[in-house]
Structure 1
Amino acid sequence: MKPDTLVTVIVTTYNRPDALELVLDACLAQTDRHFEIVIADDGSGAPTGELIERTARRSPIPIMHAWQPDEGFRAAASRNGAIALARGEYLIFLDGDCVPQRNFIACHRALAESRMLVTGSRILLRQRLTAHALERRLALAEQPASFWLRQRAAGQVNKVLPLFLRLPDFAGRRVDGFVWRGIKTCNLGAWRSDIAAANGFDETFVGWGHEDADLVVRLHNAGVGRKNGFLATEVLHLWHPEAARDREGPNYAKVLARLADGTTRADKGLEDRSVLT
């Protein structure tokens, strides 16, 4: 990707302003500065809106807020609402509890390639470390190696190697065929044109589960390749209780059916919002 190509970072959130604050602070500390932020807000209350407004006032990076009413878990619709505001040619999806390292956007930019998407991975923080970070507003991406080695020894983080080692783009990053493992829109980059051609996220997916895999399946069916962003684009995922997963089974079955039948477009997506693509 060219250095001057505008990137839009789409950050999903729901009623967790303390975590979102850490994420936004880390976004504003990025080494790559040619980006904007759109918050995909699935119906949060006033504290989240107030945080976004305060951060936007002090930010040199444009920050926009795409809010939708709280009608249950509607991540697909929330992300489409954010895409509708995005101006970037390349979209990076990041969850509001996933703190990026300082070169997160730079690494995504380095891996971006025409007709390819990039799926990143996570470093999982345990409950005690997460509480400590939130209480002290700890700049996690700024902590020294000694801090992370102590946390690893204490069992408060599942791995530390990605904090110290970066690998460049190479042939081994390419994923052959469709592989379910590693698909997470808490850390995913793709070209807006490819997402638009697939009609975005499918808003018929409601409840927790697999609206991200559905997008990747449809892009795969349309001939969009995939790279693995391991040892380059890892994010620090704050602990949280698991969401209710009562819709996981039906959502999973729908993705499998689309993989088999070659579906490329969402049943209800961007075009239903009259988004200019």
Structure 2
Amino acid sequence: MNKPMASNISTSLIISTYNRSDALELCVKSVLRQSLLPDEIIIADDGSKEDTGELIHQLAASSEVPIIHVWHEDLGFRLASIRNKAIAKASKEYIIQIDGDIVLHKDFVKDHVRFAKRGSFVTGSRVLIREDLTKKMLAEKNCIISIHDKGTKNTINGVHLPWLSPLLQHYRQWDVSYSRGCNMAFWKEDLLKVNGYNEAITGWGSEDHELVCRLINNGVRKRTIKFAGIVFHLHHELHGTDNLNNNRSILNETKVRKLTWCDKGIIQN
């Protein structure tokens, strides 16, 4: 079994999901084969049907890591809200955040723990998995993948050379848009100081960039993890973008006014 290595950092791994239990199963399987396991796994469920809850129950029964299911009613795309609920539930000091259609490199958690530094948060990259390979992996329930497999894109993002990572940590440091919610890590205390995600942002888009902007405005440095913290993103159809203009307006206001706090976050009056 993959016992956690000695570390002064305790970790909560938050996985967001919505009605894609087959992908979530691969994701959690890839978590449970990590060279360094997280201390807890929290599934942030944006209102999935019963099959997702049943899967999580089955996975939790055989996992040496606690798996916690955080769910709310399906009232549309409310990723910011369910992530806030998961952040509030997290009992560990360092939060690593991924999506439920992500398959992890075996050293993903270890890389993030090694890279963690006070006063900063981390954003990573992803390798894209084409539709045909995604279907094959889901059918076979196979979470083992490499950049050499036919059907992967952006494969430079899957090269594992962690000794190079510190040299590239300032890559696009001030670019708010260069951040992906499917591969990020934060100190929980830093998230609480800015009140987490802005739940005024609903529908697809901008919730991760707006959070990043407030963290930077509050003095938390953005660091990029390259050649480590590797994830593979299963193919999916694009989400609807009906609210994208409104979400971008909220993001722009955060930039212009240099906001650090959102009223509709983890704490709401």
- Hey, which bits of structure 1, 4+ residues long, moved more than 6 A? none
Partner of 1:128: 132
Output aligned runs, 1:203-214, within 5 Å.
Answer: 203-214=199-210
Structure-2 separation of matches of 1:205 and 1:88: 26
State the shift of 1:256 in Å: 1.6
Instruction: State which drifts further: 108-117 or 26-35.
Output: 26-35
Q: Give the alignment partner of residue 65 of structure 2, picking from 61, 67, 79.
A: 61
The 3-state SS of whatever aligns with 1:236 is: strand
Do the aligned residues in 1 keep the contact of 2:126 with 2:158 (CA within 8 Å)? no
Q: Is 2:97 the partner of 1:93?
A: yes
What is the TM-score with the length of structure 1 in the denominator? 0.91
Do the aligned residues in 2 keep the contact of 1:120 with 1:182 (CA within 8 Å)? no
Instruction: State which drifts further: 176-185 or 202-211.
Output: 176-185
Output aligned runs, 1:32-181, within 5 Å.
Answer: 32-141=36-145, 148-151=147-150, 156-168=151-163, 169-175=165-171, 178-181=174-177
Structure-2 separation of matches of 1:68 and 1:184: 23
Do the aligned residues in 1 keep the contact of 2:130 with 2:152 (CA within 8 Å)? yes
Instruction: State which drifts further: 29-38 or 200-209.
Output: 29-38
Q: Is there any run of 5+ residues in structure 1 with no aligned partner, and where?
A: none
Partner of 2:213: 217
Structure-2 separation of matches of 1:42 and 1:181: 24
Q: Is 2:19 the partner of 1:19?
A: no
Q: Aligned AA for 1:149?
A: H
- The percent of aligned pairs where both chains have the same amino acid is 35
Q: Is there any run of 5+ residues in structure 2 with no aligned partner, and where?
A: 1-5
Deviation digits for residues 163-182 of structure 1, max 9, x if unmatched?
Answer: 44323342431246520343
Structure-2 separation of matches of 1:251 and 1:162: 28
The 3-state SS of whatever aligns with 2:95 is: strand
State the shift of 1:196 in Å: 0.3
Deviation digits for residues 86-127 of structure 1, max 9, x if unmatched?
Answer: 111000110000111110000001111001011011100011
CA-based RMSD? 1.6
Deviation digits for residues 63-101 of structure 1, max 9, x if unmatched?
Answer: 000000000000000101111211110001100001111
Q: Give the alignment partner of residue 179 of structure 2, picking from 183, 198, 203.
A: 183
The 3-state SS of whatever aligns with 1:72 is: coil
What is the TM-score with the length of structure 2 in the denominator? 0.93
Closer/same/farther in 2, CA of residues 78 and 150 from structure 1, 3 Å limit: closer
The count of residues paired between Structure 1 and Structure 2 equals 263
